[in-house]
Amino acid sequence: MTDWKKVSFLLVFLFNSFFAQQTVTGRITDDDGVNLSAVLIINMSTDQKTSSNAAGMFSIEASPNDELRFVMADFYRVSTRVLTGGYNPQLLVTMTPIPRDVGEVKIVKKPTGDLETDSRLAGKVDKGEIVEQAVGLPQPVGKMREKPAEVKKVLLPILLGSLDVQGAYDLISGKARRQKRQYRYDDLQEHIMWVRNRVDNEYFVNAGIPVERISEFIQYAFEVKPQVRTYVKARNLSGTLLRMEETMPVYLERLKQSKNGSISKPEE
């Protein structure tokens, strides 16, 4: 009889454990909203592991209060816990790249022919930045542009009895969405020009990229290697170029195979 009670207790425990588990799904992006593939997701309670797909999507079995850990090289680790209420909406996980100092940029008169070495030598001298750093000129904080309305900042005051008329209009009319799209485009063009203003065209041409495709290649590098743009934001030219070089072989191969001249992000 005692053995039967033990077996019954074990069956009840296994039954509860099984039905307490649920499938947790979500999407993983970087802080620019770019989907991250091949992110390792670990259930720290069961040691179950999975990876995000090309669209940044993932699914994993977990029980309430299990810790899910997200790990990827060159990104800060992220952890979250499964909700205990039994309802877990799709998770949106944002991972932040880790900026790394890749060393000092040295200047020589002639290229060596080695792409890794020459990338450190291709930067143009920005005299304006040198003067600003020397005399300590203050740098502007942020950009002087209208901030798009956000859903949560418009709806929350409504619950408290007030209404942001302009914010509500911007959301309903689509103005906020158009602003965000325009700002993303403006930021992209600004980052592309930051690279072009500091790197001679000859550097790209010597690597096999035609002059008319330089901007296209830089944008391609931003898409397939988001860390490139992180270095641009940090104003780290040597880091930008070294990361950008990692995308060159695939880009050049796709350039050879392209018939219509459009280079798209490779499928993973």
For 2-95, which CATH class? mainly beta
Strand-strand pairing, 91-95 and 22-30: parallel
Question: What is the rounded distance in angstroms from the CA atom of residue 56 to the CA atom of residue 27?
Answer: 5
pLDDT tens, N- to C-terminus, the chain (268 residues)? 455 544 444 444 444 444 457 889 999 998 888 889 999 999 998 889 999 998 999 999 998 888 999 998 888 899 988 876 656 678 899 998 887 654 444 444 444 545 555 555 555 545 445 444 444 444 444 556 677 777 777 677 666 667 777 777 777 888 878 888 888 888 899 999 999 999 889 989 998 999 999 999 999 999 999 989 999 988 898 889 888 899 999 999 988 887 555 555 555 4
- Return the structure tokens found at 216: 């296209």
Other C-beta atoms lying within 10 Å of the C-beta of residue 119:
24
Enumerate the domain spans of the chain: 2-95, 99-124+198-268, 138-194
Provide the CA 160 distance to its chain's centre, in angstroms. Answer: 35
Query: What's the pLDDT at 136?
Result: 45
Candidates 221, 193, 223; CA nearest to 207 is 221
**3-state DSSP assignment of residue 7:** helix
- The answer, as to whether pTM is greater than 0.85, is no
Q: Which helix (H) or strand (E) holds 215?
A: helix 214-224
Please name the residue that has the structure tokens 């600004």. 190
8 A C-beta contact, residue 180 and residue 193? no
* Contact call for residues 237 and 245 (beta carbons, < 8 A): no
